[in-house]
Each structure stands twice: as C-alpha cells, then as structure tokens.
Amino acid sequence: MSNQKEVSQKEIKNTQEKTSEFLKTQNQELQKKSISDISESTKENINQYQKINRNILEKSIYATNKFQQENIKIIQSISDNYKELQNNIFNTYQSAFSQFLHNISESNWKNFSAPERYSNIYNKSIQQIKDNSIQCSKRLNDLALTSTETFNNSIEIAQKYYNESFQNYFKFVNEIEKSYYN
C-alpha cells in the first residue's frame, strides 16, 4: 500500500506540475493577447485621429484657397476700375485739348484781327484744362485711397483668418495629444 501511496503522490505531484505549467502557458498567452488587443486599439485610435486631422487640414486648405481666389477677384476688379478711370481721364483731356485746338483755329480764321478774343479763348481753355486736371487728381486720389483701404482690409481679413485657422488646428492637435496620453 505504501508503494501505491507513493505512486499516487507522484502522480498528484506530476499532475500538479503539469497543471501549473499549463496555467503559466495560458497566462502568458492571455498577456500576449491583451497586449496585441491594446496595440490594435491604439493603432485604430491613431488612424482615426489622423483621419480627423487630414479632414481638418483639407478643409483649412480649401477655405484658404477660396479666400485667396476671392482676393484675386477683388484685386482684378480694382485694377479693371483703375484702367477704366485712366481711359476716362485720357478721353477727358483729349476732348478738352481738341476743343482748345478747335477754338483756336476758329478764332484765327474768323477774327484774325482780334487778338484780345484769341487770348480770352486761350485763357478759358487753360482754365478748363486746369479744372479737369484738378478733378482728375481728386478722382485719382479717391481711387487710390479706396483701393488701398480695400486692399488693407483684405490683408487684415486674410491674416485674421490664417491666425484663427492655425490656432484652431493647434488647439485640436493639443486636445488629441492630451486625449491620447490620458
């Protein structure tokens, strides 16, 4: 019987050792599986955050491009208006000068003997040219002032938009980073 007890105790010890090894193996496999699950979850979170960041960046780039296109259209409009103003000024001077030449030729042919009338016509023409020059200068000054103000406002709006969009982007990145590390 003692022999049977020893065999039985050996079998029990052997079974206990095998059970212990099996449990260790199972425990190691569970740890490996939980690490892989955690890494997979982390990987999915990172991919999701990257996707959100890409979307935000794409929207920011789109908005920036749209704003730049609007600024280009505004600047083109200003330059077209400036060209039109230059043409109007040139036409005004041309008509005034042609009227001046016409008046001189008529006065010469009609009143060749009246130099006093000739000088009056000349003085009136010069006065008209002066008035047109003053009006032209005022218009140019008004146009330059308006164009400069519009351009400055466009630049201020662009700077404000860029600053706000990048601040929002960095806030979002910081929040993602905080949530990732927490």
φ, ψ for residue 112 (rounded to 5)?
-65, -25
Predicted TM-score (pTM) above 0.75: no
**SS3 per residue for the chain:** CHHHHHHHHHHHHHHHHHHHHHHHHHHHHHHHHHHHHHHHHHHHHHHHHHHHHHHHHHHHHHHHHHHHHHHHHHHHHHHHHHHHHHHHHHHHHHHHHHHHHHHHHHHHHHCCCCHHHHHHHHHHHHHHHHHHHHHHHHHHHHHHHHHHHHHHHHHHHHHHHHHHHHHHHHHHHHHHHHHHHC
Q: What is the pLDDT of residue 34?
A: 66
Q: What is the pLDDT of residue 110?
A: 57
Q: What is the pLDDT of residue 13?
A: 77
Residues of the chain with pLDDT under 70: 1-8, 30, 33-35, 38, 95-97, 107-115, 182
pLDDT tens digit sequence for 81-110: 888 888 887 777 776 667 777 777 776 555
Q: What is the pLDDT of residue 88?
A: 80
Q: What is the pLDDT of residue 180?
A: 73
Decide if 113 contacts 124 (C-beta within 8 A).
no
